[in-house]
Structure 1
Amino acid sequence: MPYTPPPELASLSLAQLAAEVEARRIPPVDQWTPAETGDSEMRIAADGRWFHQGGEIKRPAMVRAFSSLLVRDADGQHWLKTPFQRLSIEVEDAAFLATDMEVRHDGDGRPVLAFRLNSDDLVICGPANPLRVAGSAEIPAFYIAVRHGTEARLNRSTYAQLIDYALTVSDADALAVTSMGAHFPLVPHA
């Protein structure tokens, strides 16, 4: 069956965004305790491309399938996890890239930030999926929690969308955004 990506982020209402997030069936990797551990011989480059044994995985459906099995442990190691195996995977920066952002408002008028990832997953920013800022004031890096300890780094255009939005809702000296009632400062700690 051919893979059909979800609709463009800009075309979705908040209710449709929530429905798309809910519709994504992720395997229950947090419930699996595989007995075997090994190496997947896979790598996720900083630019979001996936590689296996040095060759790029170019089929989006394959990347999407593998990405649903990703977890990151407390030591920062990423794994592809199945019921029978846990295979290490090298991740140069973050497991995902956030490639688009939209702002919607809930029934009470509160902002809700939604992000599309390079895996076509949709993530709604909030207490369960917080934004994190790293790097320095000169070279900041922004990440959003995805699932099972994994994160997505905002690519340059998505970072620009976030900052443009933040400048409309906060003071440049205290740059911050709010989503689903959670407050996220956007200035890296010194």
Structure 2
Amino acid sequence: MSQNPETIASQVEETASKSGLPPLDQWHPELSGDMDLRVSRDGQWIYKGEPLAREAIVRLFSTILRREDDGEFYLVTPVEKWRIQVEDAPLLAHSLTVEADGAEQVIKLTTNVGEVIEVGNDHPLEVGSYAGTDEPRPIIHVRHGVTARLVTAAFYDLAEHVVEHEGRAGPELGVFSNGNFYKIG
């Protein structure tokens, strides 16, 4: 067993499905241990104190990362499971684009690993706040408990599409995407 990023990458590369994503929901190995890998709030993946040099490994790791019921993040392969540290959301979302308008609009974001995510049932948008502050924390759910935090510019772009919608308790502010309304604020 190895916690070397190159070794883990080679274990996973052959198992990707047609969608390009490994069948993570089918893998349930025992915990191998803690890996000296940390994802900083600014989205850098840091292994043993140094940023991971190969972008391809970061991209691959983003597809084998899951957050489990204990709130911890794990890199999972068919035979290994390594706990890692994540300071905020493990991914960042930027480059917001909007197609159509009103209730028909579709919001798309690109993550820092190049994945385009469409806000909707499979990838809901949630705007909370950081504990102890009123600072907004806008995230989009990616998969397996992993989220991507909208960078400031993307959040400002999103704010340009906020509309008032009549909710159960009266008017609410938010955005539409794929026929769903997501409250903001």
TM-score interval for Structure 1 and Structure 2 normalised by the shorter chain: 0.7 to 0.9
- Structure 1 unaligned spans of 5+: 1-21
Pair 24,64 (structure 1): closer, same or farther in 2 beyond 3 Å: farther
Pair 109,182 (structure 1): closer, same or farther in 2 beyond 3 Å: closer
Contact 1:40 1:80 in 2 (8 A): no
The amino acid that maps onto 1:185 is: K
Q: Which has the higher helix share?
A: 1
- CA RMSD, Structure 1 to Structure 2 (Å): 2.3
Indicate which of 151, 154, 168 corresponds to 1:155. Answer: 151
- Structure 1 runs (4+) deviating above 3 angstroms are none
Residue 132 (structure 1) aligned with residue 130 (structure 2): no
Pair 121,23 (structure 1): closer, same or farther in 2 beyond 3 Å: farther
The amino acid that maps onto 2:47 is: H
Corresponding residue number in structure 1 for 2:22: 27
What is the CA–CA distance in structure 2 between the aligned matches of 1:39 and 1:160, rounded to whole Å?
37
Indicate which of 26, 47, 55 corresponds to 1:52. Answer: 47
- Structure 2 unaligned spans of 5+: 1-16, 166-170
1:36 Cα offset (Å): 4.2
What is the CA–CA distance in structure 1 between the aligned matches of 2:112 and 2:134, rounded to whole Å?
26
What is the CA–CA distance in structure 1 between the aligned matches of 2:85 and 2:140, rounded to whole Å?
19
Which deviates further from its counterpart, 51-60 or 90-99?
51-60
1:26 Cα offset (Å): 0.7
Q: TM-score, normalised by structure 1?
A: 0.78
CA-to-partner distance for each residue in 1:7-46, whole Å, 9 max, x for gaps? xxxxxxxxxxxxxxx9751100110111342112100000
What is the CA–CA distance in structure 2 between the aligned matches of 1:163 and 1:109, rounded to whole Å?
16
Q: Which has the higher strand share?
A: 2
What is the CA–CA distance in structure 2 between the aligned matches of 1:75 and 1:143, rounded to whole Å?
20
What is the CA–CA distance in structure 2 between the aligned matches of 1:70 and 1:147, rounded to whole Å?
9
